[in-house]
Structure 1
């Protein structure tokens, strides 16, 4: 049985411990990042939707950085939305500021009815850059 190479950002553990999951798992040169939400350090949701989306991206960047990656290394994105029709414009504006220039990663958006008190979640797969 292979050992899981778990990755955690230095200062964000409340939800990981409460819900028993790793922020990310490294497998070879791939990083599988668990869904990141707009949670504060104590695990509570950021109440303003746009700020919640921005915080989810900030939390994502922290996990990527802990593995030596950046947004530029992301190859696949899945986002989850509790009200896609009402939220899409805000998400797309934040996404445009976060993702950078083309070529863009793959992206799948999924409408859901429940995200444990959150309204947006983002999970990604990234390629870990070769040490140089």
Structure 2
């Protein structure tokens, strides 16, 4: 059986405990990151859509870092949008500032009607660099 290891970003562990889930699970050399929203440390949404997107990416980066990963380790991305037609330009602006070189990760965008008070969520699968894998 493959070992699973819970990964939590620094300073946000209590929020995950309150809601009963793990920020990410490392299994072998793969990292499965739960959906990250644009929440500040207290759990409240960042003000404005683009700020939520930037904060969601910042929260994702903190989770990746906790597992020894970075942007280049991401293989697959899924994003959730409450108004994709009107939000896509802002999301692409932030995304394009982070993923600047090929090959880009796979990407699936999904329109949804509810994200618990948020308007954007991002989840990823990443490969953990060789030196960081759990035996």
Same fold (TM over 0.5): yes
CA drift at 1:15: 3.1
Q: Which residue matches 2:83?
A: 83
Give yes or no for the alignment of 1:115 onto 2:115: yes
Cα distance in 2 for residues equivalent to 1:15 and 1:37: 12
User: Are positions 1:99 and 2:103 aligned together?
Assistant: no
Instruction: Report if aligned partners of 1:7, 1:25 keep a CA contact under 8 Å in 2.
Output: yes
TM-score in terms of structure 1 length: 0.95
Q: Mapping of 1:23-34 within 5 angstroms? A: 23-34=23-34
**Counterpart residue number, 2:38:** 38
1:100 Cα offset (Å) = 2.1
Quote the offset at 1:17 in angstroms: 1.8
Work out whether residues 5 and 25 of structure 2, in 8 Å CA contact, stay in contact via their aligned partners in 1.
yes
1:52 counterpart = 2:52: yes
Structure 1, unpaired ranges of 5+:
none
Separation in 1 of the partners of 2:22 and 2:102? 30
2:58 is the counterpart of 1:67: no
Measure how far apart 1:18 and its partner are.
Answer: 2.1
Q: Deviations over 1:47-70 (max 9, x none)?
A: 211011000000000000000000
User: Cα gap change, 1:4/1:130 in structure 2, threshold over 3 Å: closer, same or farther?
Assistant: closer
Consecutive aligned runs of 4 or more in structure 1 exceeding 3 Å deviation = 1-4
Unpaired runs of 5+ residues, structure 2, are none
2-structure distance, mates of 1:99, 1:48: 22
Instruction: Output the aligned Cα RMSD.
Output: 1.4
Task: Provide the C-alpha distance between the structure 2 equivalents of 1:43 and 1:17, rounded to a whole number of angstroms.
Answer: 12
